[in-house]
Structure 1
Amino acid sequence: MRFLKVSYKKQLQEISKTRQKLNEILDEMEKTTIKELDDEMTSLKASVKTDMDNCIQLKNELTQLSDALKEIVDKSKAELLFVASKKCLEKIKHSETYLKENSVQIKSSLTFQANRDIQQYLSKLSGLGRILVCTQAVPLHDDPDQIFTVQGGSLKSLLTASFSEEIFYISAVCVLSNDQILVADRAEKKVNLLNHQYQVVGHCNVNGYPFDICQITPSEVAVAVDKDKTNEVQFISVNDGLLSNGTTFQLEHKCIGIAYNLQDMYLSSGTALYKYSMQGDMLEKLYEDTSALKTGNIMQYYGGYIRVYF
């Protein structure tokens, strides 16, 4: 549920971002359209101003010629009167031609024609996108061999009692179906059985260092044992609070990690991952990385795949 809520909040943010991007696109389109409107308005205003300036200039020129003719007539200068009259007639003809060309009064206006394609496209959309439900298989950690969480508990009793003077190296922990706990003690080369109070109620010796444990059945586990030339898988049974060694099969490589799934064993040598049958036959080498001394050792099975910790 927590993961679902997190994904819900994240998708809300994605929807908001999508809306913001659309707003930015529409804002930019609006700016471009308004600029086009402003440019057309500026062009029309300039054209009207030019016409007004031409009319004013013609009027001023005609007024000046009229005043000049009056002055010449008053002074009775025949020669100048002829020249002035000719120029006045030319200017009047020019003015009449200009007025004739611009005799039709033009009312300019601006009209915005909306892009119907955009409106129609948006109106056909039912939303900003699609909501997809993505499902993924997530391990529930219901295999007691996989996850062991202690809240408020203590393994103090394991280090006290009759073993208070010894040094322990707990290399692996496995919880059985009945909540009994198996602890691999690498220092003592044995597997201890703990009760619900984390008290040691039994143990079983192994032939080397117990690096890892995995559950095979509700009452049987397999232990990865390794020491010098001893490389083996040791099966141990748990019955009525007692541990007893079962069968063992030898390996040609080191054995420091172990997992079980569907009648097959998965073993790690520290640099390679192997698949074995329950009878000890190597079926295949799944992976190998020799770039370091230990490139993978601790393994856990999660309902469909093996996870190797590096």
Structure 2
Amino acid sequence: MNVPLWLWLVTGVGLTAVICFDFYLIARNPRKPSLKECLAWIAGYVGLFLLFGLAIFIFEGHEYAGELFAGWITEYSLSVDNLFVTMLIMVSFAVRAEHQQKVLSIGIVIALVLRVIVVSIGSAAIAQFDWLFYVFGAFLLYTAVQLLLTGDKEDEEFKENLMLRGAKKILPATEKYDGAKITTKVDGKRLVTPMLIVMVAIGTTNLLFAVDSIPAIFGLTKEPYLVLTANAFALMGLRQLYFIIGGLLDSLIYLSTGLAIVLGFIGVKLVVETLHNHGVSWAPQIPIPVSLGVIIGTLVITAVVSLLKVRHDRNKELAEVASERSAAEVD
């Protein structure tokens, strides 16, 4: 895929303009968004992605369009799982509801900038050392096994990462918030508020999550342009999704299992296709339609089974309560 410089620039300017407009609306009227508003924004972002995907299909063909869709779905799915940690950060730092939109937006921008750097370095390294795909594949398989072993037994407490601890030591910070300001004056000294620390926490945590997602998307496409745009579109709309999916995350009890299957499949795909490219006759190439089918099918089945299990457990619990009440009335 030959992407000219002007297209990189146009794409960068376009994505930046959308993110800036989104941030402008938040800064003008900070508040907790309604469900209707969140759904409208997500629909708009998904619509933009579909138009972009259609353009890739028209000008570059179905193969690259399929890789883009597979990468976007995978990145979006991993982002949904990561929203749980974002919620823990918000609770840990006691961020007020009306300021959470700003925190999320800036955190997402930080994450996007850092991912651009990571993807650029990764693309350059892969171009020189294709054996790195074996490393990526092995890492994804390891991550999949870890997800299967831990399942939904993740710690319900946010743990500070190294970058966040460093920022808290270096930056002179106050103990209290000053509205949505990231700096404030105390006794004539300019200090940062906990608001900036929260933004750093979300941005750096999202970067750490990229350790899983970047190898995963490189397992679906080797094109840096598709990797970056799929990441950008997956992060756009994450703020609105945060306010919608808060209660739903507790119902997606098998999400970790579904993501483990997806990551494991992509890990196997990376290793097998790299072997194929190195001349191993028995190693097949896995077509993108097959990859899309496995990813979408796994996520749909995971969501449906999770919701059915939660519904079954809830009905069972209600039946037990009713049975206990009936027994008490008889006595």
Shorter-chain TM-score above 0.5: no
Between Structure 1 and Structure 2, the one with more strand by share is: 1
Q: Look at both structures and tell me which one has the larger radius of gyration over its CA atoms.
A: 1
Instruction: Identify which of structures 1 and 2 has the higher relative contact order when contacts are C-alpha pairs closer than 8 Å and 6+ apart.
Output: 2
Relative to the length of structure 2, the TM-score reads 0.16
